[in-house]
Each structure stands twice: as structure tokens, then as C-alpha cells.
């Protein structure tokens, strides 16, 4: 089965990001394909490399980055929602001091969500 995952909540806002991560990891381990994970609304905060949880807490952003590195999962952060929340890559930084998108993530538009939905068998949304 081919899944497209949409994450709408920030990494420490609710359980949505944790649930999406664990679902995605379990699906990959069972041999399913993840077409794309699309982060939208406050979910784009999952793509910030500036997230720095306490040492005794889980590091959700690092988990997503590791998943991308290990399985080649396409992690796309909605560019419009990201810019509104200060998440930038090199091209979007436009002269600002630093790009702050986490490793394994990239900016993209809603068209990439639509494309992934059409390519997959199921869209699973986590968060409001």
C-alpha cells in the first residue's frame, strides 16, 4: 500500500506528530511505501532545526530527519505556512542571516500534496 501522510500540528503541540512518525515508521517496516509526508499549518514547525527539547525529552524533529535519511522519505514543508512561521531554506531566506530548515526536509507547495495524494492509495491526516 502507498500512503501519503499529512501532519497539521507542531511537534510538541499535541500527539499528532508523534503518532504520524510512529505510523510512518511502522508502515515502512511492514514494507509499505510512503509517497510523501507533507507538513501543513503548525505542522511545519516539525521542520525547524531550531527546535531544541530538553535532554530528557524526545527530539521529534531529529526523528523525522533520521527517518528521511534512513528510508529516503520525502519530507515536504508547505512553503507558505513555513514562511509565516519563520521556517526558511536557503532560497526563501532572501538575505536573512540563516536558513533554519532541518536536515531531510524541503519546502514545497500544495501542488506537491495533491500530487502525492493522487500517487498514493491512502491519505492519512494527523492533527486538526
Catalytic site residues? 78
The answer to whether the CB of 17 falls within 8 A of the CB of 11 is: yes
**Three-class DSSP category at 47:** helix
Tally of CB atoms within 10 A around 128: 11
The residues with which 2 forms a beta bridge, in sequence order, are: 33
Nearest-angstrom CA–CA distance, 128 and 121: 21
Tally of CB atoms within 10 A around 53: 13
Amino acid at each position: 500500500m502507498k500512503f501519503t501522510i499529512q501532519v497539521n500540528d507542531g511537534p510538541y503541540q499535541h500527539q499528532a506528530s508523534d503518532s504520524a512518525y510512529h505510523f510512518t515508521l511502522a508502515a515502512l517496516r511492514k514494507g509499505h511505501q510512503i509517497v510523501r509526508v507533507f507538513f501543513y499549518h503548525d505542522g511545519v514547525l516539525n521542520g525547524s532545526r531550531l527546535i531544541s527539547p530538553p535532554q530528557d525529552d524526545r527530539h521529534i524533529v531529529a526523528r523525522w530527519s533520521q527517518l528521511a535519511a534512513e528510508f529516503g522519505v520525502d519530507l515536504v514543508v508547505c512553503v507558505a505556512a513555513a514562511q509565516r512561521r519563520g521556517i526558511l531554506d536557503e532560497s526563501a531566506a532572501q538575505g536573512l542571516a540563516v536558513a533554519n530548515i532541518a536536515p531531510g526536509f524541503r519546502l514545497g507547495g500544495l501542488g506537491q500534496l495533491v500530487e502525492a495524494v493522487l500517487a498514493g492509495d491512502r491519505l492519512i491526516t494527523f492533527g486538526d
